[in-house]
Amino acid sequence: MNILKAKWILIFVAVVLAGLAWFFFFREGETAARYKTRKVDRGDVTSVVSATGKVNAVVTVQVGSQVSGTIQQLFADFNSPVKNGEVVAQIDPALFEAQVAQARARLANDEANVEKARVVLEDAKRNLGRMEELLSQNLISQSEKDAAQTAHDSSAAGLKAAQAQLIQDRASLSLAETNLRYTTIRSPVDGIVISRNVDVGQTVAASLQAPTLFTIAQDLTEMQVDTSVDEADIGMTRVGQEAEFTVDAYPDSPFHGTVHDIYNQPIVVQNVVTYDAIIRVKNPDFRLKPGMTANVTIRIGRSENAIRIPNAALRYSPEPPAGAAAQAKPVRSGTVDIWVLKKGEPVRVPVTLGLSDGSFSEVTSGELREGDEVILEAYTDAGGSSHGGGRPPFMRF
């Protein structure tokens, strides 16, 4: 009797365990899905383009030397304010002063030669006149008159040669005086010296190209950011758009400017194409310095008080039935399918998207109302989740 009772107890325990196993393992697939939702609301949506760039002065002038020589004096240094025409350096002028003196001496000699040639010509002219008179009286032969004519013409040619030499040496004097003036280096603009590349006693050689002695920023109260904008974003970038950027020196103090120009020349680095967008910004306190790296956001569009949905809703799509192939969400001219929870069931609502700021997207048309609950994610009581795995269609119009 005890053995029979023990058998029934074992059978009862086996049935209970089997029931528990069925409940925990086989009912999991029948668990009703739950949904994580968020209400559609209104708010501002600002679409931006992100880029990086370098801070530079609006006008930067490189001051060089057109003559070779030794730096004799420097009158400007780093951060020196300079005026247009102010002397910033002096090259030793001794060699060029000697060249000017030589050119002046040659010019004086040429002037004397011209005067001498003129006197000779006048004498030959008088002699030719006498010979013509004597020939008319048959007192001399024709050959004597011809000799006088030749002497006259030769004297005229000598005068022209002397005058040409005078003009040539006058130009040589002007060149020597110009080179002498070039030994005095002057600032071509009002500005601030941001770079000095020479020291006193250093020899500069201008045989092939003018060496750079100073770099002068014309005005540091207004700066520009040379921004590299990706080719995918350049079509949305326009002159006059507002821009905001930060630099590493002031990460918590953004600067504000506007897009001043967009260069058409492409810049290709490792098959990546970018374009230069120039952003102008005021710098009255001189906090921005040339060469700083800027992290730029350009505002390409803004919608105020717009109906918006979180971008997470763009990633959700119900799982297909078992054995059915998953289908991509249709995207046609900005139209996407959003799933809205109505009476506990997901309902597909096609909408047209506008601007997106990365977190929210503007809804420009569609049967979606403020307060509707869009589905972000589906999950079960057992902890499983289901949501679309694709990237949201990040769209800007």
User: What is the chain's pLDDT, residue by residue, as a tens digit (397 residues)?
Assistant: 556 566 666 666 666 666 665 555 545 444 556 888 999 999 999 889 999 999 999 999 999 999 999 999 999 999 999 999 999 999 999 999 999 999 999 999 999 999 999 999 999 999 999 999 998 888 889 999 999 999 999 999 999 999 999 999 999 999 999 999 999 999 999 999 999 999 999 999 887 677 899 999 988 999 999 999 999 999 999 999 999 999 999 999 999 999 999 999 999 999 999 999 999 999 999 999 999 999 999 999 888 999 999 998 988 888 654 444 444 344 334 688 899 998 888 999 999 998 888 889 999 988 888 899 999 988 765 555 555 443 343 333 3
Domain with CATH 2.40.30.170 in the chain: 49-58+221-302
Residue 393's SS3 state is: coil
Domain with CATH 2.40.50.100 in the chain: 64-92+183-218
Give kind and range of the element (H or E) at residue 263.
strand 250-269
Within the chain, residue ranges assigned H as helices are 2-21, 94-136, 142-182, 231-234
Contact between residue 227 and residue 277 where contact means Cβ atoms under 8 Å apart:
yes
Provide CB contacts within 8 A for 227, sequence distance 6+: 51, 52, 53, 243, 276, 277, 278, 279, 294, 296, 298
Whole-angstrom distance, CA of residue 201 vs CA of residue 71: 5
Taking only the tens place, the pLDDT of each residue in 85-119 is 999 999 999 999 999 999 999 999 999 999 999 99
What tokens appear for 300 in the block? 């390409």
Closest CA to 333 of 356, 351, 349: 351
* Full-model pTM: 0.64
pLDDT at 257: 96
Closest CA to 376 of 363, 354, 359, 397: 359
pLDDT at 335: 83
The CATH class for the domain spanning 64-92+183-218 reads mainly beta
Considering the segment(s) 93-182 as one domain, its CATH architecture is Orthogonal Bundle (1.10)
Q: Which CATH number fits domain 49-58+221-302: 3.40.190.10, 3.40.250.10, 2.40.30.170, 1.10.1760.20?
A: 2.40.30.170
What tokens appear for 374 in the block? 């869009």
Taking only the tens place, the pLDDT of each residue in 123-179 is 999 999 999 999 888 888 999 999 999 999 999 999 999 999 999 999 999 999 999
* DSSP state string for 291-324: T-EEEEEEEEEEEEEEEEEEGGGGT--PPPPTTP
Contact between residue 126 and residue 167 where contact means Cβ atoms under 8 Å apart:
no
Whole-angstrom distance, CA of residue 369 vs CA of residue 189: 61
pLDDT at 391: 38
Provide CB contacts within 8 A for 180, sequence distance 6+: 93, 96, 97, 99, 100
pLDDT at 4: 58
Domain with CATH 1.10.287.470 in the chain: 93-182
Whole-angstrom distance, CA of residue 24 vs CA of residue 21: 5
What tokens appear for 364 in the block? 């420009």
pLDDT at 325: 43
